[in-house]
Amino acid sequence: MGVKKRNIDISSILLLAALAFYILAPLAVMIMHSIATEWYVLKRWWAPSKIGLDWYYFLFRDPDLFRSLWMTYVIAITVVIFTIGIFILPAYVIGTGKVKKGADFIETLGNLPQAIPIVVLGIGLLPIYGRLGLLYTFPGIVIAHSIPAAPYVFRTLVSGFIAIPPEIEEAARVLGAGKLAIVFNIYIPLLKPSILAAAVLAFSASINEYVLTAFLGVPAITTLAVRVYQTAGGYYWSPHLAGAFSIFMIIPSVTIVMAIEKITRTKVTPL
Amino acid sequence: MKKVYIFFLLPLFAFILFTIIIPLLLIFYNTFTYYGIEKLGELFSIQSYALKSLLFTIFVATLSTLFSVIIGYGIALYMILKRKYIKIVMQLLRIPLFIPYITIGYIWRAFLNPRGHGTMIASMIASCFNLPAVKSLVGTGWAINIAHTWLYIPVVFSITYAVLLKINPEIIDAARSLGAKGLTLVTRIYIPLTWRAVLAAFVLVFMGSLRGVSIPLILGSNPDYFPVYIYRVLTDYYDKPLANALSFVFFIISATLAFIYFKLALRIRKTGV
């Protein structure tokens, strides 16, 4: 019996270690900041001397901060419902090839929000929101957050409809299925992975959005992204609170992505 | 087209009209009403802060894009040639895609602060070679470069790796049987067959890097990053006409880049590479 020879590739391992350090080290620092209750960086820069969950408790104890926390999630969930509601029918028309002429143009329209800098849109929306009374309001922020979410939702839903073979709908029709039966028995079950992927992408896009909230929502609506800026941007520097806020921004999206990938066995990537 | 399908498309049209078309038209109208072409020219005259900020932004965005493309495409090529640790690399490279931009700005500010881990580790390495301690990069274009590269390596990797996988393996086998190895394969086969995807990734990353607000806003720079300058003109100086004029110029630049990207992406989608 021969000895099994292990093929260890040092260069690959070194490259992998370098990449892992680059990607993970700043995130590890964020986690350390969020759990540091005592950290004298001048004496001991590498790690806190005391750790705990004080910053997380603080977030729950302070009514203003806690309001930002739940407001962020409520906005994100509403954005999910709103964007899917708006784009499901257009995605059906494009994805199932019901419209051939002008399909490219409609697809470009769906992707248009991605082509325009968000700061430009914020400045353009400001006078419109002012006139319509949408400034500093919940519906106004939901519409604003739907802008960066729109291309992801539209593209994901279109891909979902493309993947459904048109013969299934025809076969159901031949067998006497009505329009509602086709929607509920064919499209919704087959589209479930795409709807879930679109939902998580819209959720992440909403949580991610800072500029439009700063222009159109602050001070009445202050999301976690705004709180991160308030604690980590400019002259005021509170890395511990910013770390705790960031964790609450990252965890839900990542958890939902992992759950969806496990359920649907498809990859969710915001590209 | 059936009437019912036009009805189905109405929500999309209404959304785009309200959130994109009307705001853009307002920006155009306000720019030409308050500024006009002549004043717009003056705004970007030599020595003006706007021009300095714009040139600085283009320089930083170009560097970030080059770093992201070289590293991201490099990793994709390495993975294709070695076919090792692909799963780990892919999982690692997915992480930045799910981190909010404002958090990316914050984590890099924490990492590159004067007493941050990045600065301290770099200083320790420098001291091994008798070099002076490393200064914090926060507030310089380099910090923005590092953070943007962190964010965009996965984007370049995803786009180019997907195209590299589509190359007919028979071509690679034929080249290998003729004696071609690593570098020859890369320069003679992989790069010529994937340059369009690399270019598309380049434009996409450049576009993202140029337009980013949150990361440079947190990390800071002198002069301001151009989108940050627009943001400050509105939030700090409340100068709406100037913000409109700057937005107009910025829109023209971004729209041109987006047009190039969509053309390239369409070509890749139709031809495969």
Report the pLDDT averaged over residues B93-101: 93
Report the pLDDT averaged over residues B61-89: 93
pLDDT category at B62 given cuts 50, 70, 90 is very high
Q: What is the pLDDT of residue A270?
A: 65
Q: What is the pLDDT of residue A26?
A: 97
Report the pLDDT averaged over residues B8-36: 92
Distances (CA, A) of A206 to A226, B169, B191: 12, 41, 37
Structure ipTM: 0.91
Q: How far apart are CA B116 and CA B135, in angstroms?
A: 11
> Cβ separation of B254 and A115 shorter than 8 Å?
yes
> Cβ separation of B84 and A9 shorter than 8 Å?
yes
Determine the residue of chain A that is closest to B91 in CA distance.
Answer: A20
Which of A45, A233, A269 has its CB closest to that of B94?
Answer: A269
* pLDDT over 60 (residue A1): no
> Cβ separation of B19 and A106 shorter than 8 Å?
no
Q: How far apart are CA B119 and CA B141, in angstroms?
A: 15
Q: How far apart are CA A241 and CA A54, in angstroms?
A: 10
Interface test with A, best of B102, B235, B237 (most A CBs within 10 A): B102
* pLDDT over 80 (residue B242): yes
List all residues of chain B from 71 to 110 with a beta carbon under 8 Å from chain A.
Answer: 75, 78, 82, 84-85, 88-89, 92-103, 105-110
* pLDDT over 60 (residue B91): yes
Report the pLDDT averaged over residues B87-101: 93
* pLDDT over 90 (residue A264): no
Report residue B153 as tokens: 């390596």
> Cβ separation of B240 and A214 shorter than 8 Å?
no
In this structure, of A175-184, A245-254, B102-111, the range with the lowest mean pLDDT score is A175-184
Residue B33 near chain A (CB below 8 Å):
no
What mean pLDDT value characterizes chain A? Answer: 90
- B64-79 in b/e form (b: 16+ CB < 10 A) is bbebbbebbbbbbbbb
Counting Cα atoms < 13 Å in the Cβ hemisphere of B243 gives: 23
Q: How far apart are CA A176 and CA B3, in angstroms?
A: 24
Which of A101, A119, A143 has its CB closest to that of B213?
Answer: A119
List all residues of chain B from 121 to 180 with a beta carbon under 8 Å from chain A.
Answer: 150, 155, 158-159
Which of A42, A46, A249 has its CB closest to that of B100?
Answer: A249
- Give yes or no for a cis peptide into B223 (omega within 30° of 0): yes
> Cβ separation of A111 and B262 shorter than 8 Å?
yes
CB pairs under 8 A between A and B: 232
Distance from CA of B101 to the nearest CA of A (A): 6
Among A106-115, A156-165, A239-248, the range of highest mean pLDDT: A239-248
Q: What is the pLDDT of residue A42?
A: 81
In this structure, of A3-7, A187-191, A239-243, B93-97, the range with the lowest mean pLDDT score is A3-7
Q: What is the pLDDT of residue A3?
A: 54
Which of A22, A120, A249 has its CB closest to that of B250?
Answer: A120
Which of A102, A121, A144 has its CB closest to that of B20?
Answer: A121
* pLDDT over 80 (residue A78): yes
Report the pLDDT averaged over residues B94-117: 94
Residue predicted with more confidence, B168 or B101? B101
Which amino acid would we find at residue A121? L
Which of helix, strand or coil describes residue A234? coil
Q: What is the pLDDT of residue B273?
A: 58
Please, which residues have CB within 8 angstroms of residue A262's CB and are 6 or more apart in sequence?
Answer: none
Report the pLDDT averaged over residues B173-192: 86
Q: What is the pLDDT of residue A99?
A: 84
> Cβ separation of A23 and B23 shorter than 8 Å?
no
> Cβ separation of B235 and A214 shorter than 8 Å?
yes
Question: Are B79 and A186 within 8 A, CB to CB?
Answer: no
H or E element that contains A43: none
Using a CB-CB cut-off of 8 Å, the residues of chain B touching A9 are: 82, 84
Q: How far apart are CA B48 and CA B239, in angstroms?
A: 16
- Give yes or no for a cis peptide into A270 (omega within 30° of 0): no
Which of helix, strand or coil describes residue A99? coil
Is A16 exposed, middle or buried (CB count within 10 Å of its CB: 0-12, 13-18, 19+)? middle
For residue A15, the Cα-to-chain-centroid distance in whole angstroms is 30
Q: How far apart are CA B198 and CA B205, in angstroms?
A: 10
Using a CB-CB cut-off of 8 Å, the residues of chain A touching B19 are: 113, 121, 125, 143-144, 146-147, 150
Question: Are A248 and A90 within 8 A, CB to CB?
Answer: no
> Cβ separation of B27 and A123 shorter than 8 Å?
yes
* pLDDT over 70 (residue B165): yes
> Cβ separation of B19 and A22 shorter than 8 Å?
no
Angle at A202 between CA A198 and CA A207, to 5 degrees: 150
**Alpha helix stretches (DSSP H) within chain A:** 10-35, 54-61, 63-95, 103-115, 118-132, 138-162, 166-174, 179-182, 188-208, 211-216, 224-232, 239-264
- At B245-265, the pLDDT tens digits run 999 999 999 888 888 887 777
pLDDT category at B73 given cuts 50, 70, 90 is very high
* pLDDT over 90 (residue B121): yes
Q: What is the pLDDT of residue A40?
A: 87
In this structure, of A52-56, A96-100, B134-138, the range with the lowest mean pLDDT score is A96-100
Q: What is the pLDDT of residue B154?
A: 95
* pLDDT over 90 (residue B139): yes
Q: How far apart are CA A147 and CA A149, in angstroms?
A: 5
Q: What is the pLDDT of residue A217?
A: 95
* pLDDT over 60 (residue B186): yes
Q: What is the pLDDT of residue A108?
A: 87
Which amino acid would we find at residue B183? L
List all residues of chain B from 169 to 208 with a beta carbon under 8 Å from chain A.
Answer: none
Using a CB-CB cut-off of 8 Å, the residues of chain B touching A116 are: 20, 24, 251, 254-255, 258
Distance from CA of B178 to the nearest CA of A (A): 25
- At A104-160, the pLDDT tens digits run 899 889 988 988 999 999 999 999 999 999 999 999 999 999 999 999 999 999 999
* pLDDT over 70 (residue B272): no
Determine the residue of chain B that is closest to A124 in CA distance.
Answer: B23
Q: How far apart are CA A121 and CA B62, in angstroms?
A: 24
Report the pLDDT averaged over residues B119-143: 93
Phi first, then psi, for residue B147 (nearest 5°) are -70, -40
Q: What is the pLDDT of residue B20?
A: 96
Q: What is the pLDDT of residue A115?
A: 86
> Cβ separation of B16 and A207 shorter than 8 Å?
no
pTM of the entire predicted model: 0.91
Q: What is the pLDDT of residue B266?
A: 75
Using a CB-CB cut-off of 8 Å, the residues of chain A touching B235 are: 214-215
Is A77 exposed, middle or buried (CB count within 10 Å of its CB: 0-12, 13-18, 19+)? middle
Distances (CA, A) of B113 to B17, B117, B272: 43, 8, 44
Q: What is the pLDDT of residue A70?
A: 96
What mean pLDDT value characterizes chain B? Answer: 90
Interface test with B, best of A44, A106, A147, A210 (most B CBs within 10 A): A210
For residue B44, the Cα-to-chain-centroid distance in whole angstroms is 24
Determine the residue of chain B that is closest to A125 in CA distance.
Answer: B23
Q: What is the pLDDT of residue B90?
A: 92
Which of helix, strand or coil describes residue A73? helix
Question: Are A39 and A48 within 8 A, CB to CB?
Answer: yes
